[in-house]
Amino acid sequence: MDAIELLMHDHRMVEQLFRDYSAAATDQQRRGVVDIVIRELSKHAALEELMFYPLAKQVLPQGGEEIREHLSEHMAVKKLLLQLDGLDAGDARTNQLMRELEQDVSEHVEEEEQQLMPQLRESVDAQALDELGAELDKAKQTAPTRPHPNAPDEPPTLAMAAPVAAIYDRLRDRLQGRPQT
């Protein structure tokens, strides 16, 4: 998959996770889905910020302005993820936070898929998107799995902070029995 296809695949997966959350029968099942949503959105955001957005910022005429807006949306999502990460199974706040998260993610995905991604596809050759897709796929294995709203969200400082955060996140995931990737 090229970079755009890979990121859109992630979008579809997260949409399915929101449906899974709604269909879950118990607090434990819902909590399991929340943990996977936290992991997948955290990884996705980190990779977009580290690899995809810098390309868009560089090649699109209004790239800097557009990427600032997407980073702002990522920050709102990360703050919701952080709140969810601190809740126990059955916490009454979970449903409301998941509804807010689904709404924010849905709006963000629509903007990316209707505006940013088509513009980028027109501006970058297929080989570059294929190569970026391969790099994104590889980087998923070592991306942070938890939200870090106070961490840098743009290179070069993000490139230094993300690997440290990822190691810490994966250690916490193992210790807490969270889903592994």
Q: How far apart are CA 57 and CA 153, in angstroms?
A: 13
pTM of the model: 0.90
Question: Does 166 fall in a domain?
Answer: yes
Q: How far apart are CA 126 and CA 119, in angstroms?
A: 13
For 14-34, the pLDDT digits (tens) are: 999 999 999 999 999 999 999
Q: How far apart are CA 12 and CA 71, in angstroms?
A: 20
Q: What stretches of the chain show up as alpha helix (H) in DSSP?
A: 3-23, 27-47, 53-59, 63-85, 93-111, 117-123, 126-139, 157-176
Question: Does 181 fall in a domain?
Answer: no
Find the domain containing 120 and state its range: 3-176
Mean local confidence (pLDDT), 155-169: 66
Q: Do 49 and 144 meet the contact criterion of CB atoms below 8 Å apart?
A: no
Question: Does 122 fall in a domain?
Answer: yes
The structural domain count of the chain equals 1
φ/ψ of residue 65, rounded to 5: -65, -45
Q: Do 179 and 36 meet the contact criterion of CB atoms below 8 Å apart?
A: yes
Task: Decide if pLDDT at 83 tops 80.
Answer: yes
Closest C-alpha among 85, 105, 100, 104 to residue 147: 85
Question: Does 80 fall in a domain?
Answer: yes
User: What CATH number is attached to the domain comprising 47?
Assistant: 1.20.120
Question: What sign for the dihedral angle of Cα 40, 42, 45, 48?
Answer: negative
Radius of gyration of the chain (CA): 16
For 25-78, the pLDDT digits (tens) are: 999 999 999 999 999 999 999 999 999 999 999 999 988 999 999 999 999 999
Amino acid at position 100, single letter: E
According to the model, what pLDDT value does residue 148 have? Answer: 86
